[in-house]
Amino acid sequence: MSFMQRIIDFFSRKSTVTKGGGDKAISKQKAGGKMTARERIAALLDEGSFHEYDLFVEHKCQDFGMGDKELAADGVVTGSGTIAGRPVCIYAQDFTVAGGSLGLMHARKITKVMDHAIKMGVPIIGINDSGGARIQEGVNSLAGYGEIFYRNTLASGVVPQISVILGPCAGGAVYSPALTDFVFVVDQISKMFITGPEVVKTVLGEEISMEDLGGARVQAETAGNAHFFANSELECFEQIRTLVGFLPDNSRNKPAIIEQKRPKASYKIEELIPKDSKIPFDVRDIVRAIVDDSEFFEVQELFAPNAIIGFGRINGETVGIIGNQALFLAGVLDIDASDKIARFIRFCDAFNIPLLTLMDIPGYLPGSDQEHNGVIRHGAKVLYAYSEASVPKITVILRKAYGGGYIAMCSHHLRADFVFAWPTAEIAVMGPEGAANIIFRSEIMAADNPEEMRKLKVKEYTDKFANPYVAASSGYVDAVITPEETRAAIAHALQLTRNKQEARPDRKHGVPPF
Amino acid sequence: MSEQQFCEIALEGGTYETRLTKKFTQRKPYEKDDPRVIKALIPGVIAEIDTQVGKAVKKGDTLMILEAMKMLNRIKAPQDGTVKAIGVAGGDKVTKGQVLIEIE
């Protein structure tokens, strides 16, 4: 073969493989409103930045007539590229090739690019669109999944791991996304479940659609497995690019500090708090009044809305923000909110992102469903995660700070580096009504007019304890500040804690209440 | 946003104006277990009934067999007593939680 022939031969081979499953399969993929694997990568990464590896990998299966079957790139596209100029590793399963089914070589391509990401210290993004295990390959296909899960665990807390569900992701396959840091779903396109609707029907007699069992909305709103919900694949890619912008490349680095901006003038912090402490406000507005350009990038917006988590910047520096949201369930901690908060804290701690906690908590959610489903062990995760975190921890007590909830939401006692409280803060064992009913029970019962006496005692308790000064008198609050001073106080605290070092007892690892 | 959108929630320390979540409003109220009422733990088919109304039973006696997940599950008496009612017949398809038998 002449040089020219070799070049022509190469392009011919390449073009065959990059066609994936061929025209028919591709038009079927598009008819379902989905992009192809290569289109997705091109749309997500910086234009023209993608470099593909292992294009010519082939499966080795000889059984069940697989010997003479060619599967382009073995059904997965792998490589690296950049997002806003920063390198990332990426893979995308190609549903047009044998339904994106996972065989041994398919899995090896994925684990190879994962190993690459870990070694190079760059984020890894996985786009899932697969019918599941390639049955013909038997246990080798299961081995492939196992190798991926093992690497997800190795990479955890080393490089940011992002999973994008753009098609089915069922059975054991769901555990790779579940082990990663952030899961992105798209309405009507993403489907995740351990067992599908057919099995559910056979075993339990329950009729449920795929969408209702494990569609994007269910995963983002009810199950909490997904962190970001989008209406289109392009919107989803925009979300991923925004997220990556807040993160460092790996756990050895800090997120980049970008040019600082003032919050938008339309968010006037002093006007956002209602006069009556029983009327809720949107804590996200407080966040927007504090962070650069009023830009708050919320994580798990639809799940457990009684707590909010997300990223913002203060003086150009990425901050992980956690807040109690009085708008929903009065901002209580419950099982879902605890899980949501605890996981986020651990992510931020692993990737050197300071934690800002906005406290407005009336306590925990009462009820048999909460108790029986383990609110004790789930709630304990929040205490563990905050105590364990060694990144800068800054807490602002906005209003309510009652009982166990006060301790849990990054109080001085769990080693917050700075606890600020607004003059509206109420730091006490419980709300004035509950407390007065207990402390003054006999006096209230003995009174000629118990209701009058109750009101009197509630007022007495409120005047004495529903303020920040009792806690401040013991040094549990470092400074009482006005809402207007909040941003400056946090910015200074971040500056001061930048080189924070905190020694921990030597151990293999802790045993959090998973 | 207007205050009309809010409803009240009572917590340990007082009541608050807020919104409720779907999960909260759909939570199941607690029901105390009645050991005298035996319910199907799994959907399936009643393969056979080994007792009848009015019959005295001892704790551990097999009362019926529920075929589910390709297994023959023996439904046993949780305590001594008399069969008060049988809610199903042989060959019936039952759903999860359906009452099978009552003992008094």
For residue range A138-181, what is the model confidence (pLDDT) as tens digits? Answer: 999 999 999 999 999 999 999 999 999 999 999 989 999 999 99
Say whether the ipTM exceeds 0.90: no
Spatial contact of A248 and A257, defined as CB atoms under 8 Å apart: no
Let me know if residue B23 belongs to a domain. Answer: no
Contacts of A430 in chain B (CB under 8 A): 12-13
Domain that holds residue B65: 37-103
Distance from CA of B8 to the nearest CA of A (A): 9
Q: What pLDDT shows up at residue B3? A: 47
Asked, for residue B21, whether it belongs to a domain, the answer is no
**Residue A156 exposed, middle or buried by CB count within 10 Å (0-12, 13-18, 19+):** middle
Banded pLDDT at B1 (limits 50, 70, 90):
very low
pLDDT band at A406 (very low <50, low <70, confident <90, very high): very high
Q: List the 306-325 stretch of A: residues with Cβ below 8 A of B.
A: 306
Of B14, B30, B42, the CB nearest to A368: B30
**Quick check: A336 and B96 CB within 8 A?**
no
* Chain A residue numbers touching B16 (CB-CB < 8 A): 278, 280, 326, 330, 362
User: Which residues of chain B have a CB within 8 Å of the CB of A400?
Assistant: 13
- Whether B70 has a pLDDT exceeding 70, the answer reads yes
The per-residue pLDDT for A201 is 84
More confident residue, A395 or B41: A395
- A180 DSSP assignment: S
pLDDT at B31: 85
Residues 415-474 of A with CB under 8 A from B: 430-435
B57 in a domain, yes or no? yes
Q: Is A505 helix (H, G, I), strand (E, B) or coil?
A: coil
By CB atoms closer than 10 A (0-12, 13-18, 19+), residue A456 is: middle
C-alpha distances in Å from residue B24, one per residue of A366, A370, A373, B8, B20: 11, 10, 13, 13, 6
Of the listed ranges A85-99, A374-388, B78-92, the one predicted with least confidence: B78-92
B17–A279 C-beta distance less than 8 A? yes
Q: How far is B4 from chain A (nearest CA, A)?
A: 11
Sign of CA dihedral A17, A22, A27, A30: negative
For residues A393 and A200, which has the higher predicted lDDT (pLDDT)? A393
- Using the beta-carbon criterion (under 8 Å), do B18 and A431 form an inter-chain contact? no
Q: Where exactly are the structural domains of chain A?
A: 33-246, 269-431+467-496, 432-465
> Considering the domain boundaries, does residue B22 fall inside one?
no
Nearest to A231 by CA among A181, A190, A191, A180: A190
CATH number of the domain residue B95 falls in:
2.40.50.100
Nearest CA to A318 out of A266, A260, A276, A375 is that of: A260
CATH of domain A33-246: 3.90.226.10
The whole-number pLDDT of residue A168 equals 94
Describe the crossing of helices A139-155 and A104-120 by its angle, rounded to 10 degrees.
10
Would B79 be classed as within a structural domain? yes
Please state, for a pLDDT cut of 70, what percent of chain A lies above it. Answer: 100
Cα A190 to Cα A223: distance, rounded to the nearest angstrom: 14
| Least confident range of A43-57, A195-209, A261-275, A427-441 | A195-209
Q: What is the pLDDT of residue B43?
A: 86
Q: Do A205 and B13 count as a contact with CB atoms less than 8 A apart?
A: no
Query: What's the pLDDT tens digit per position in A214-248?
Result: 999 999 999 999 999 999 999 999 999 999 999 99
Per-residue confidence (pLDDT) for residue A275, from 0 to 100 = 81
Closest CA to A216 of A241, A235, A199: A235
Give A147's contacts (C-beta < 8 A, 6+ positions apart): A107, A108, A111
Handedness of CA A39, A43, A48, A51 (dihedral sign): negative
3-class DSSP state of B20: coil
- Which residues does A495 contact at the CB level (< 8 Å), separation at least 6? A315
A vs B, Cβ pairs < 8 A, gives 90
B96 domain-assigned: yes
Q: Would you give the end-to-end CA distance of chain A in angstroms? A: 61
Q: In angstroms, rounded to a whole number, what is the distance separating the alpha carbons of residues A317 and A258?
A: 7
Quick check: A362 contacting B, CB < 8 Å?
Answer: yes
The stretch A9-17 carries a mean pLDDT of 96
Say if the Cβ atoms of A363 and B27 lie within 8 Å: no
In the predicted model, is pLDDT for residue A410 greater than 80? yes
Q: For residues A76 and A40, what is the distance between their CA atoms, to the nearest angstrom? A: 12
pLDDT average, residue stretch B28-47: 89
Which distant-in-sequence residues (6+ apart) come within 8 Å of A463 by Cβ? none
Give the per-residue pLDDT at B33: 85
Task: Tell me the average pLDDT across A497-511.
Answer: 93
Residue A320 has pLDDT above 90, yes or no: yes
Supply the DSSP string of A407-436, one letter for each residue: HHTT-GGGT-SEEEE-TT-EEESS-HHHHH
Contact B12 A430 (CB under 8 A): yes
Instruction: Count the domains in chain B.
Output: 1
| CB under 8 A, 24+ apart: contacts of A108-111 | A108/A57, A108/A144, A108/A147, A109/A53, A109/A54, A109/A57, A109/A73, A109/A74, A109/A76, A109/A78, A110/A76, A110/A78, A110/A144, A110/A148, A111/A144, A111/A147, A111/A148, A111/A151
Residue B25 within any structural domain of the chain? no
Average pLDDT over all residues of chain A? 95
Range name among A36-40, A68-72, A80-84 with the lowest pLDDT average: A68-72
Task: Please give the pLDDT value at position B4.
Answer: 52
- Closest partner residue to A433 among B6, B14, B95, by Cβ? B14
Report for A50-64, A286-300, B66-80: range of highest mean pLDDT: A286-300
In a domain, B54, yes or no: yes
> What's the rounded Cα separation, in Å, for the pair B45 and B48?
9
pLDDT of residue A200: 85
Mean pLDDT of all residues in A346-366: 97
- The larger pLDDT score, comparing residue A206 to residue A110, is at A110
Pair of tokens at residue A412: 């001085």
> Exposed, middle or buried by CB within 10 Å (0-12, 13-18, 19+), for A307?
buried
> How close is the nearest chain A Cα to the Cα of B93, in Å?
10
pLDDT exceeds cutoff 70 at A513: yes
In angstroms, rounded to a whole number, what is the distance separating the alpha carbons of residues A487 and A492? 9
Give the chain A residue whose CA is nearest to the CA of B40: A204
Question: Using one digit for the tens of pLDDT, what is the confidence trace for B10-22?
Answer: 888 788 999 999 9
Homologous superfamily of A269-431+467-496: 2-enoyl-CoA Hydratase; Chain A, domain 1 (3.90.226.10)
Strand pairing category for A355-361 and A317-324: parallel
Chain B interface residues (partner A, CB cutoff 8 A): 3, 6, 9, 11-24, 27-30, 42-43, 69, 93, 95-96
Comparing B5 with A325, the larger pLDDT belongs to A325
**CA–CA distance, B93 with B45 (Å, rounded to integer):** 4
DSSP codes of every residue in A209-275:
-HHHHHBHHIIIIII---SEEESSHHHHHHHHHHHHHHS-SSTTSPPPP----PPPTT--HHHHS-S
Strand (E) or helix (H) holding A177:
helix A175-179
A271 falls in which pLDDT band (50, 70, 90)? confident
Report chain B residues whose CB lies below 8 A from the CB of A368. Answer: 29-30
Query: By percentage, how much of chain A surpasses pLDDT 90?
Result: 90
Nearest of A236, A245, A234 to residue A86 by alpha carbon:
A245
**A67 pLDDT more than 90:** no
Provide the pLDDT for residue A203: 75
Contacts of B29 in chain A (CB under 8 A): 368
